[in-house]
Amino acid sequence: MTSEQELLAEQVLNAHRQSAPDGSLRAHRAWHDLDPDARRETAEAAERLRKLEAALSPEGHSSTVSAVLARLRSSRGTP
Amino acid sequence: MVDEAQLLAALRAGDLTAFGQWAARAEPSLRAALRPFAAAVDVEAVVQEALLRVWQVAPRFTPDGRPNALLRFACVTARNAAVSELRRSGPSAATLDDVERALASEPTGRPWEPDPFLRAAIAECREQLPKQPGLALTARLTSAGADDDATLANRLGMKLNTFLQNFTRARKLLQACLEKKGVRLDEELAP
């Protein structure tokens, strides 16, 4: 990966995703600028990173699981 | 480990804690099921979408009597979400070949559990990170997907590129530290 692609990939590794108007989740803006090989490598890196995050979390939650739970709590209006 | 009947009863009762525990074990299988789509869809968005759909459907879900029914259902849901996303983007012939191969194989749906040795090793390696990479890692972990990187960088008083470089450094240093401790990440972290 080029250094520019590495910086894009690093942003894609963040679990933050915006919602589309229909409520579905949008692909990360930076993901669109990655070439196909970089997209595959980033998905592999995300598999490792999420397990590291889960292992570091007292609840065993990766940032993906935490983001989903936050959306569900927000839709219920609970903290 | 929670029995699936107990889990489904908890989900019917709207128990988010039980759902979080299940989702933590399910996530690696979902990501594995989506590998063939990785060049064509943003796997992170699809995994989150699939988990949200499972939560919505779980109260009405009927297990098929085989092990890990909800997890297998989640993998199929994730693949269906990926196919829907692909249709919107107009896939290439090569992508369609990958997808056909993926859909021909049944997802394994094996729950993942981190072992205590791995947890301890990662925590030790995290403590050894230099300050700036450690701050970038902590910012991402604390935010847990709530903020984009521009927001996190701003919070730390870093430029976006500096923040991203520090996060890359943190990931690489963690990996190198774990390898020194004899942890072979690709084996330990395999789904």
Residues of chain B with CATH 1.10.10: 118-188
ipTM score assigned to the predicted complex: 0.95
Q: What string of DSSP letters covers B61-97? A: ----SSTTHHHHHHHHHHHHHHHHHHHHH---HHHHH
Give the tokens for residue A36: 């196909």
Q: Name the CATH architecture for the domain at B118-188.
A: Orthogonal Bundle (1.10)
CATH node for B4-108: 1.10.1740
Instruction: Provide the residue ranges of all domains of chain A, joining segments of one domain with +.
Output: 3-76
On chain A, the residues whose CB falls within 8 A of the CB of B40 are: 36, 39
pLDDT per residue as tens, chain B (191 positions): 568 889 889 998 999 999 999 999 999 999 999 998 999 999 999 999 999 999 999 999 998 888 889 999 999 999 999 988 888 777 666 666 666 666 666 555 566 666 778 888 999 999 999 999 999 999 999 998 899 999 999 999 999 999 999 999 999 999 899 999 888 766 666 55
User: Rounded to an integer, what distance in angstroms lies between the CA atom of residue B190 and that of residue B113?
Assistant: 11
Interchain CB distance below 8 Å, A10 and B118: no
Which residues on neighbouring strands pair with residue A19, listed in sequence order? A25
Residues of chain B with CATH 1.10.1740: 4-108
Tell me the whole-structure pTM to 2 decimals.
0.89
- A22–B contact, CB cutoff 8 A: no
Report B:55-74 residues touching A (Cβ under 8 A).
Answer: 55
